[in-house]
Structure 1
Amino acid sequence: MPGLAFLALVSSLLLGISDYLGGALSRRAPLIVVLLGSQVVAALAIAARLLVDPFRPDLADAVFWGSIAGVAQAIGVAALFRGLAIGTMGVVAPVSALSVLVPVSVGLASGDAVGPLLGAGLALAVIGSVLATGPELERQRPPAAGDYAYVADTRRRGATLSIVLALIAAAGFGTSQVGLARGAAADLTTTLIISAVVVLAIYIVAFSAWIHIRLRTAAAQLHRGRPAMPALAPTRIRPRDYAAIAAIGMLVYLANAAYGTAAQSGALSVVAVLASLYPAVVALLSWRLLGERLRPVQLAGVALTLAGIAAIAAGAA
């Protein structure tokens, strides 16, 4: 179990980095471009597994659970990236960490044994992962009249939407974790490939719809005699942005592979918790690179998370 716990923690680290990159990049590049580009890279990386491990379409469980995981992941990643882009990462990330409740509930319902020490570690890890990035504790003051009122109201609505998106992401990630774990029990490669193909198909459809909408909008503006932005290039995507998109795809693939490997033999309720500690990574990166400050409650969350990991390792040994 210690080796499987390490893989789950690696999955958390990789997901935290990819989520930070995705959220930060989606603030200046179209979300669907980030999603589709990164998924193309992830799909190519997964396809490379076929050189060493065959695809088994005859395994109904792997195909079924891979499809479930793919749909859930597509929704979860899109919701999280958008939430991180329009909201405060220190609010969105911990809310999305509630995803762990889905696989933990399924694992416990399936008979995963949880002793006192392991149970305490799970509780500490869940609480710590939520507190690590700290919800916004400051209450917004009522806005005054004028432009400030409009700006404050817009920010308030954006913050509310980001939390709703984080909850959607939590449901998506939790369901995806269950799907990957169940599918990996039949065949990991088949599950990963099916999941990647489903995600890619969803993003291609979404990208096509986005292009169609932008073309119609530009045509309507030109028809009215107004200048229209280039429909296919609303913002300039720099070379380093493309590199970041590719990195996101590779990190997501490696994270899913590490999680699927750990879930093949480890208790789902334990592996899922350790793989859901990515908010702490997002918090540290946003603090270091974006200047977001860690509050006392966030520092307490980091301490609880580390204590929970230690208790889980001791209880699962």
Structure 2
Amino acid sequence: MLETDILTALFALGAALAWGSGDFSGGLASRRHNVYSVLLAAQLVSIAPLLVLALVFEQALPRASDLLAGAVGGVFGVVGLVSLYTGLARGRMGIVAPLAAIIASIIPVCIGMITEGAPTLWQTVGFAIALIAIWLLSSDGGRKLEATPVELRFALLAGVGFAAFYLALDSFSGETALWPVFAARLASMSLLALYVSKRRQWSMPPRPLLPLVALTGLLDTAGNFFFVLAAQAGRLDVATVVSSLYPAITVLFAWLILKEHLKFKQRIGVLTAFAAITLIAL
């Protein structure tokens, strides 16, 4: 049991590292170009390498149910992503981002407790600390916590979308991992392309920006793959909560590379995130 929890936490930590790094590189690219074009281009770049990896390394043919679950997860992931960015554009980051992250974590944790039984005492404490860490890491430091109806609506949509994405990736049979991730990426890319074209927000990123865009797509795909491995290795709640600590990685990179000043809440958030990971893996 202990070895399983540690393995799950390690895979989930790999997802957090990849997603957090991808958010950092994607954030850099989005400072210089339209955010939706960056997201779509990143997914377009990552689809071909993912297909090649699936063809080379996956021995078993994918089940139709796994491909369907991956596609459904990809759709919900894009709904969550678009809702999050819309909420950030129309509301306050300090309310929308942490609230969406908390919702996205709580739903799989509750379902995991129902389907897999109650976690250990240390894991329960770790989950509580992790939720606090997620809020601290995602918050912009604002003091006013009352959410407007618009902020609440888009945070809820984003959180439910991301939670459904986690649940879909957890439903794979375990016989294959890369093919469902490929199906998720294909579905999310197609839906995002429709959204961007309908809003007429597509413009090709400039050539000097393409390596950063490609890195963003590859890191996001790697994060999805590690999350699938984590969910297949052990408990869904462990996989979800640990991987949801990815903002700590983004904050650390912003501090190390961009020399951005860490707010007090973010410093506490990074420390509590590491404490939560340690407790969850016990």
| TM-score (norm. length: structure 1) | 0.75
Q: How far is the alpha carbon of 1:310 from its aligned partner?
A: 1.2
1:118 aligns with 2:86: no
After superposing the two structures, state which structure 1 stretch, 113-122 or 186-195, moved more: 186-195
Would you say 1:174 and 2:163 are equivalent positions?
A: yes
1:122 maps to a residue whose letter is F
C-alpha contact 2:37 2:205 (8 A) present in aligned 1: no
Partner residue of 2:10 out of 2, 6, 12 = 6
Cα distance change on mapping 1:36 and 1:183 into 2, 3 Å: same
Please state how far the C-alpha of 1:126 moved relative to its aligned partner: 1.8
Show the counterpart of 1:241. Answer: 209
In structure 1, which of residues 202, 223, 231 is the aligned counterpart of residue 191 of structure 2? 202
1:106 aligns with 2:106: no
Q: 3-state SS of the aligned residue for 1:8?
A: helix
Alpha carbons of 1:198 and 1:53: their partners in 2 closer, same or farther (altered >3 Å)?
Answer: same
- Given that residues 259 and 275 in structure 1 are in contact (C-alpha distance below 8 angstroms), is that contact kept between their aligned partners in structure 2? yes
| Cα RMSD (Å) | 3.1
Cα deviation digits, residues 122-174 of structure 1 (max 9, x gap): 1111212221343433459xxxxxxxxxxxxxxxxxx9967754543322222
Alignment CA distance shift 1:243-1:24 (3 Å): same
Residue of structure 1 in register with 2:243 after alignment? 275
The CA distance in 1 between the partners of 2:95 and 2:21, in whole Å, is 17
- The partner residue of 1:44 within 41, 48, 67 is 48
Q: Which residue number corresponds to residue 30 of structure 1?
A: 34
8 Å CA contact retained: 1:55, 1:190: no
Residue 304 in 1 paired to residue 272 in 2? Answer: yes
- Residue 127 of structure 1 is matched in structure 2 by 132
Q: Tell me the distance in 2 between the aligned counterparts of 1:162 and 1:184.
A: 36
In the alignment of these two chains, the number of paired residues is 275
What residue identity is the alignment partner of 1:249?
A: G
Q: Secondary structure at the match of 1:50?
A: helix
Structure 2: runs of 5 or more not aligned: none
**For 1:118-197, what aligned pairs fall within 5 Å after superposition?**
118-139=123-144, 165-183=154-172, 185=174, 187-197=176-186
Cα gap change, 1:45 to 1:78, in 2 (>3 Å): farther
Q: Aligned partners of 1:291, 1:89: CA distance in 2, in Å?
A: 21
Seq. identity, %: 28
Note the C-alpha offset of 1:246: 0.5
Label 1:275 to 1:139 Cα distance change in 2 as closer, same or farther (>3 A): closer
CA gap of 1:266–1:194, structure 2 versus 1, over 3 A, is: same
SS at the partner of 1:187?
coil
TM-score with structure 2 setting the length: 0.83
Q: Structure 1 pair 85/289, CA: closer, same or farther in 2 (3 Å)?
A: farther
C-alpha change, 1:285 and 1:31, in structure 2 (3 Å) is same
Distance change in 2, residues 1:246/1:69 (3 Å): same
Q: Matched residue of 1:185: which SS? A: coil
Question: What residue identity is the alignment partner of 1:121?
Answer: G
* Cα separation, partners in 2 of 1:126 and 1:170, compared to 1, 3 Å: same
Quote the offset at 1:265 in angstroms: 1.9
CA contact (8 A) 2:94 2:142 kept: no
Structure 1: stretches of 5+ with no match in the other structure:
141-158, 215-231
